[in-house]
Structures are given as structure tokens and as C-alpha cells.
């Protein structure tokens, strides 16, 4: 019998199974299949994603391997990064509060602020359609027709693609109704995360998210960052925003503007332990 030790963490309810590299190697199955097993909410531990700690890296303090619950690779995950940062700091894989993490989206810099709060330099937003990627000549206010409704999509990448739609009301209902269709639309060749957003003020928004590879989630850090950038680029929001998600709030800062898009986005929020345990891995 093979038992693997795991830690379950969450960032505003967006939950993750975290494995040390030795536990991952012990499993002796491909990481995509391991993600499917562990993240299954009926037969596994249950999570939105699988994070594997990889201490061996040449261009950063530490690295991670990240898979969505459906077994697909995720380039970045803001809530996952906060959980990962707290985990590797508490386990003493790193010996400083501000450190670098190698991801498929590039180098990300988290900083431990307190026992349960982490601030992350999420890097610069990507606005060029071909790099997002998005099959459009422009990335803001793309007209989109679906079931006799017209929405205006804002495509932005924070290392992973996002589709932000500003609406007046019913953001949760719209995410449930249209999220899956927009995620897989040919407009987004690598699929996309979808955010329906209600603006409460120039410093506060409500976000409901359909996450690529997961479905409806309680929070999405990169989505909150992309939403803030889209709001500023459209002139709707100021540079500091409270993003209100079903699982809680994130503080997002972007000092950029339509004339200066080279600033980094900063995200601050909670990272909490849920439980630890052993999982019996039946490879049949």
C-alpha cells in the first residue's frame, strides 16, 4: 500500500492539495493523473488544484508544479501562490519572508506579511491579444454575442488568460449561466478564466469567477488582478481596489494606466491551513 502525506490549504476558499516533492515521487504516477485523483471531491481529498513543491531550481529561490483539478497545467494561480508561499516559509524551504518562485508564468515574488497574510508581486499584465492569447485585433470591450445577449469582453493575462465582463447586476447568475461557454469559446485558443464583475465604487468591486479547468470557485487571485487592470484601463477604477469574492476580500494595487502599462500588479490576501493527512493511493 502507498500512503502519501499531504497538506490542504485555502486562499479565501479556493482550495489546494500541497505535496512535498518526495511525496509526489512516492506516488509514481504522472502529475496530471495524480491531480485528478487527489482533487476529486468524492473519491479523493477534494481541491481546486494540486501544488507540488520543487526545491530544486536554478533561477529562483524555489519552484512549484501546479495542476488544475481536471488534470490540466495552470501557468499561474494567485490564491495558490499565497498558500504555497506560506507553506514553504513555514516548512523552512526558504529562510526569508520575501523570495522568488519559478512558475510557468515566469518569476513571481511573494512576501509573508503576517501569520496568515501574504502579498504577491504578480508581475506585469499582458495586454497584447496574441500573447494572452485571444483571437482578436484588440483586447478591451470586444463585442460578444451569446443567446441574444451582447457582452463586452476584456481580455487580459496575468500569466494565465482572463475574460472580464463588467455588468450592472447578477454577476453570480451570469457566471453560472455563461462561464463554461465563454471558457471554451474559440476566441480563447487556450481557454480562459471568466470574471463577471459588478462595480460598487472606484475602489470596490464584486467578482464572480468561472475558473478555467475548475468551474465556479470561491476566489481567483489572478482574476482579481486582471479585473483591476481592466477597470483602470477602462477608466472605471482607481489604482487601489478591494475585490470582493464569494470567499472573501483581496486587496489589489496597480499603479499603471492606459499610458503606462509596465507597472507590476500587487495582490494581498489570506492563506490558511485546512488540515493535514495521509491519502491511500490506489493506482488501479
Residue 55 clears pLDDT 90, i.e. is over it: no
CA distances to 17, 75, 245 from 69, rounded to whole Å, are 10, 14, 20
Tell me what the mean pLDDT of segment 85-107 comes to. 95
Tell me what the mean pLDDT of segment 249-260 comes to. 97
What is the rounded CA–CA span in Å between residue 274 and residue 90? Answer: 15
Phi, psi of 153 (to 5 degrees): -95, 140
Kindly give the residue spans of alpha helices, DSSP state H, lying in 110-191: 171-183
What is the rounded CA–CA span in Å between residue 171 and residue 175? Answer: 6
Q: What is the pLDDT of residues 18-28, one digit of tens each?
A: 999 999 999 98
Residue-range domain boundaries for the chain: 2-115+271-281, 129-263
Residue 15 clears pLDDT 60, i.e. is over it: yes
Catalytic residues: 77, 220
CATH classification number, 2-115+271-281, choose in 3.10.310.10, 3.20.20.70, 3.40.50.2000, 3.40.190.80: 3.10.310.10
Considering only the top CATH level, what class is 129-263?
A: alpha beta
User: If pLDDT is split at 50, 70 and 90, which confidence band does 253 have?
Assistant: very high
Tell me what the mean pLDDT of segment 4-15 comes to. 96
**pLDDT computed for residue 58 by the predictor:** 84
The whole model's pTM is what?
A: 0.92
Amino acid at each position: 500500500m502507498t500512503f502519501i502525506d499531504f497538506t490542504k490549504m485555502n486562499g479565501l476558499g479556493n482550495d489546494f492539495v500541497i505535496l512535498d516533492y518526495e511525496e509526489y515521487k512516492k506516488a509514481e504516477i504522472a502529475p496530471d493523473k495524480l491531480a485528478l485523483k487527489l482533487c476529486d471531491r468524492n473519491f479523493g481529498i477534494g481541491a481546486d488544484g494540486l501544488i507540488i513543491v520543487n526545491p530544486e531550481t536554478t533561477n529562483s529561490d524555489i519552484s512549484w508544479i501546479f495542476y488544475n483539478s481536471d488534470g490540466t497545467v495552470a501557468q499561474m494561480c494567485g490564491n495558490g501562490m499565497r498558500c504555497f508561499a506560506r507553506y514553504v516559509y513555514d516548512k523552512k524551504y526558504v529562510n526569508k519572508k520575501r523570495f522568488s518562485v519559478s512558475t510557468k508564468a515566469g518569476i513571481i515574488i511573494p512576501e509573508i506579511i503576517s501569520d496568515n497574510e501574504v502579498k504577491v508581486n504578480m508581475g506585469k499584465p499582458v495586454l497584447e491579444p496574441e500573447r494572452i492569447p485571444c483571437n482578436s485585433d484588440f483586447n478591451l470591450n470586444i463585442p460578444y454575442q451569446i443567446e441574444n445577449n451582447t457582452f463586452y469582453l476584456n481580455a487580459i493575462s496575468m500569466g494565465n488568460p482572463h475574460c472580464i465582463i463588467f455588468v450592472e447586476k447578477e454577476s453570480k447568475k451570469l457566471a453560472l449561466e455563461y462561464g463554461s461557454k465563454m471558457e471554451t469559446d474559440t476566441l480563447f485558443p487556450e481557454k480562459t478564466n471568466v470574471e463577471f464583475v459588478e462595480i460598487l465604487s472606484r475602489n470596490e468591486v464584486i467578482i464572480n469567477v468561472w475558473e478555467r479547468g475548475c468551474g465556479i470557485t470561491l476566489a481567483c487571485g489572478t482574476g482579481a488582478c486582471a479585473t483591476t487592470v481592466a477597470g483602470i484601463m477602462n477608466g472605471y477604477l482607481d489604482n487601489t481596489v478591494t475585490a470582493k469574492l464569494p470567499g472573501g476580500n483581496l486587496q489589489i494595487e496597480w499603479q499603471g494606466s492606459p499610458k503606462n502599462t509596465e507597472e507590476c500588479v500587487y495582490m494581498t490576501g489570506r492563506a490558511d491551513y485546512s488540515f493535514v493527512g495521509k491519502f491511500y493511493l490506489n493506482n488501479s
